[in-house]
Amino acid sequence: MHVETNAIDDTWKLITLKNDQNISIDILNYGARITNITVPDKDGKLENIVLSYADYKKYKNDPNYFGATVGRVAGRIANSKFELGGKTYILDANESNHHLHGGVNGLHQMIWKTQTFKTDSEVGVELQHNDSNMSGGYPGNIKITVTYKLNNDGELIIDYYAISDEDTILTLTNHSYFNLNGNLKRSINNHLVRLNSSYFVELDEELIPTGNKIKVDNTTFDFRDEQALKAGIETPQKQNQYAKNGYDHYFLLDHQKRNSVIVKEPNSGRIMTIETDQPGVVLYTGNNLDDTLELTERKSEKYLGVTFETQSSPASLEFDDFPNILLNANDPYQKRTSYKFSITDK
């Protein structure tokens, strides 16, 4: 197992984690983001399975949040405001009238401090950022730590820890776009997904939750028995149409089962299994991608990557029966999401 750090410039660093099976993961300290995950296919061919820019400097103005740690609040906050403790807080409006993924100067725009480590069982990097009171409009001085760990079981573990000196709101996630074909050879339309969720959250035409939780039965949102992502892309229902013919929806996880999400790509034989202690996941199929971005392997296009954003729900700021994002002063925020990479049996 191996971990190394390479300087891109005076402030940007790239940390590479590598295990004994030649799985390697690159993490950039700008945005605490994943820029590469190389894993073998069923024939042993090593290829990258995430979207990344060919030029690192493109991350400075990245509306797609490729691989980033996003927050303080992942997702959309309606009308860019919320109430807490009898006070109204105004946030950046960076998507029409709404606040998305922490705003203009969210965590994806920060340079994080790094500390690498290696043990007998894993290699990793701890990234730390202190966000000041009222940064982006959020109350509380908050210390945030994101730790990436890679082990020899082919598992990437992301641990999130934070503590604030005031009551605030927080839900963090990773925004990697996955494409298990490898090196972006094809779209994600034929990826097979099993997602243990009986309900998804209804959106309005501006992708803001209406407060309704809809049963997935007999819809393109039923992934309980595995289906291809093209179900909501090629034969979209009304909710898919709101998301530009795809998915950009929050699914409430049924946590009585292990393996919250399983993703398979039949051609490569790659499998990604996601486990999380978060209450839900946003499934987004890259509906806003176009052909203007120079990525590491090729130009971008719609449906070239899919995200699984494990998190609580910003809709809880308006609706009581949603997984809440409140963080009380001096209470630790601790969450974990893991991604295990494997291949089908030949």
Rg (CA), the chain: 19
Q: Is 309 a known active-site residue?
A: yes
175 carries an active-site annotation: yes
| Catalytic residue (choose from 175, 191, 249, 265) | 175
Distance CA 68, CA 61 (A): 12
Q: Which H, E and C letters describe the chain, residue by residue?
A: CEEEEEECCCCCEEEEEECCCCCEEEEECECCEEEEEEEECCCCCEEECECCECCHHHHHHCCCCCCCEECCECCEEHHHEEEECCEEEECCCCECCEEECCCCCCHHHCECEEEEEECCCEEEEEEEEEECCCHHHCCCCEEEEEEEEEECCCEEEEEEEEEECCCEECECEECCCECCCCCCCCCCCCCEEEECEEEEEEECCCCCEEEEEEECCCCCCCCCCCEECCHHHHCCCHHHHHCCCCCEEEEEECCCCCCCEEEEECCCCEEEEEEECCCEEEEECCCCCCCCCEECCCECCCCCCEEEEEECCHHHHCCCCCCCCEECCCCCEEEEEEEEEEECCC
The residues annotated with a catalytic role in the active site are: 175, 309
